[in-house]
Amino acid sequence: MKDRYKEYCTGCGLCGSVLQVSFIKDAKGYEVPDLSEGSRSFCEKVCPAAGKASAQMSSGNIWGRKKSVYLGWAKDPVIREKASSGGIITAVCCYLLESGLVDAVIHTKASGKIPYETETVVSVTVEDVLACMGSRYSVSAPLKNILQTVDANKRYAFVGKPCDVSALHLYMNDNPKLKSNILYLLSFFCAGQPSEDAQKRLLEHLKMNTEMCRKIQYRGNGWPGYTMAEDNSGRTEKMTYAESWGHILGRDVRHSCRFCLDGIGEFADISCGDAWYITPDNRPDFSEALGRNVIFARTEKGDALLKQIHNSGGVYLEQYDENQLSIIQRYQLERRAGMRAMLSAMKLCGRSVPSYDIQTLKSFEKLLPRKNRIRRFWGTIKRIVLGKI
Ligand SMILES: Cc1cc2nc3c(=O)[nH]c(=O)nc-3n(C[C@H](O)[C@H](O)[C@H](O)COP(=O)(O)OP(=O)(O)OC[C@H]3O[C@@H](n4cnc5c(N)ncnc54)[C@H](O)[C@@H]3O)c2cc1C
């Protein structure tokens, strides 16, 4: 059986920062840690696959812990236009810096070298934050140098995928000093990190290759906006978000993402997703519109911050009926509620699985009809037999 922590590594990079674990790229372009016995005991404390995070999840509440759920967007029309959804994360980061609540924001930006790679940056001005707007549908490891980045005399906000935030949250609980430096955790709904292979396939569809391409924008400049690549001569090619995510990127994500129990940023102070409109036949509507976020204020601190920004005119907020999420974020619901069925299939086939808390799994499972769980179980068996997992 494979090593659970290697197999279900999310690539957050925290073990690299804390224990100087080295990483090697696997065949798909994901960085995988070279874990020793000592580093495994570290993973047990922080890794989403270890079960500690799942035991702290809001049992029975499929959309996670919350103080309030809002529909909203950035009031600045440029941010709303250029950001991934409605620009809430960018607006929050800008407010945190401008109001002096933090000195800097640690987040992710497109790499200046290879257009589909990312780098972790420390933003200290609004201009820096604006340069990070939008979703990078590729690999990111924002915790790889977190301890080396944080200055003990400064206060930060951190933006990361749900798995990054979950690992950092657990690590900070054992390291209160860091908690006094990183004051806000911000996250977003995440369906997975597409591989390097997927990026190359995306470029092929856009009639480019890695050498020719100097810029990729996955979405934004509209909502959802187009996926767009630009080559060295300035030629641009585009495809719809539904095509790029639905047919290429979303089909080739990290193994751990397929078995992720937290695609909704459960451990963030604020977590955002797309608040798609709903079509008359009850599907998410991906046709172009002005951007909108669904916003979970998951802690008192997160809720107080959002209200403060709303009062200052930085964001628009209204109450949101989270029942709509079962239509517009169906994948998130089914992955979470169908996890027990998928893990049962994996175990039956002798495969290693994340050690998620069984009570949490059972509480989520109740929210998915039995026939749907059975379909997930057999679907997983089929994928194993076909060598797809
Ligand atoms: C890998 C990935 C998967 C996603 N899956 C879903 C999904 O299943 N459902 C859904 O509703 N939405 C998904 N999204 C999009 C997400 O909903 C929006 O990013 C979120 O609503 C925030 O929108 P915003 O306009 O407030 O963000 P913005 O204001 O544009 O801010 C985005 C912030 O996210 C950071 N960021 C961008 N890419 C990455 C990355 N790869 N790793 C770490 N940080 C990053 C940026 O640094 C920036 O601070 C996904 C995004 C990504 C990157």
Q: What is the DSSP annotation of 193-249?
A: -B-HHHHHHHHHHTT--TTTEEEEE-S-SSBS--EEEEETTS-EEEE-HHHIIIIIG
Same domain, yes or no, for 352 and 246? no
The number of C-alpha atoms within 13 Å of 379 and in the hemisphere containing its C-beta is 13
Q: Residue 277 Cα, ligand 1 centroid: separation in angstroms?
A: 18
Q: Residue 159 Cα, ligand 1 centroid: separation in angstroms?
A: 9
- pLDDT at position 379 is 97
Same domain, yes or no, for 171 and 91? yes
Q: Residue 217 Cα, ligand 1 centroid: separation in angstroms?
A: 13
Same domain, yes or no, for 312 and 237? yes
Same domain, yes or no, for 34 and 62? yes
Helix (H) / strand (E) element for 171: namely helix 162-174
Across the chain, what does the average pLDDT equal?
96
Ligand 1 atom index nearest CA of 291 = 25
Q: Residue 189 Cα, ligand 1 centroid: separation in angstroms?
A: 7
- pLDDT at position 37 is 84
- pLDDT at position 38 is 83
| The pLDDT of residue 20 is above 70 | yes
Burial (0-12, 13-18, 19+ Cβ within 10 Å), 318 = exposed
Q: Residue 382 Cα, ligand 1 centroid: separation in angstroms?
A: 31
The number of C-alpha atoms within 13 Å of 118 and in the hemisphere containing its C-beta is 32
Same domain, yes or no, for 281 and 369? no
Domain range spanning residue 226?
A: 1-336
User: Which of 293, 308, 336 is the last residue in one of the domains?
Assistant: 336
Same domain, yes or no, for 239 and 376? no
| The pLDDT of residue 59 is above 90 | no
Mean of pLDDT values over 7-12: 96
Same domain, yes or no, for 273 and 365? no
Mean of pLDDT values over 302-330: 98
Nearest residue by C-alpha to atom 2 in ligand 1: 190
| The pLDDT of residue 315 is above 60 | yes
Mean of pLDDT values over 358-378: 96
Same domain, yes or no, for 159 and 115? yes
Same domain, yes or no, for 277 and 346? no
Q: Residue 108 Cα, ligand 1 centroid: separation in angstroms?
A: 10
**What percent of the chain lies above the pLDDT cut of 90?**
96
3 pLDDT tier (thresholds 50, 70, 90): confident
Ligand 1 atom index nearest CA of 82 = 30
Helix (H) / strand (E) element for 347: namely helix 339-348
Ligand 1 atom index nearest CA of 293 = 21
User: Which of 336, 352, 368 is the last residue in one of the domains?
Assistant: 336
What tokens does 389 get? 């997992």
Count of the separate structural domains present in the chain: 2
Same domain, yes or no, for 331 and 365? no
Residues with CB under 6 A from ligand 1: 83-90, 107-108, 118, 132-137, 140, 142, 159-161, 188-191, 193, 263, 272-274, 293, 329
Same domain, yes or no, for 114 and 206? yes
Question: For a pocket test of ligand 1, which of 84, 96, 168 has the largest count of ligand atoms closer than 8 A to its C-beta?
Answer: 84
| The pLDDT of residue 1 is above 80 | no
Same domain, yes or no, for 123 and 41? yes
User: Which of 311, 336, 361 is the last residue in one of the domains?
Assistant: 336
- pLDDT at position 60 is 85
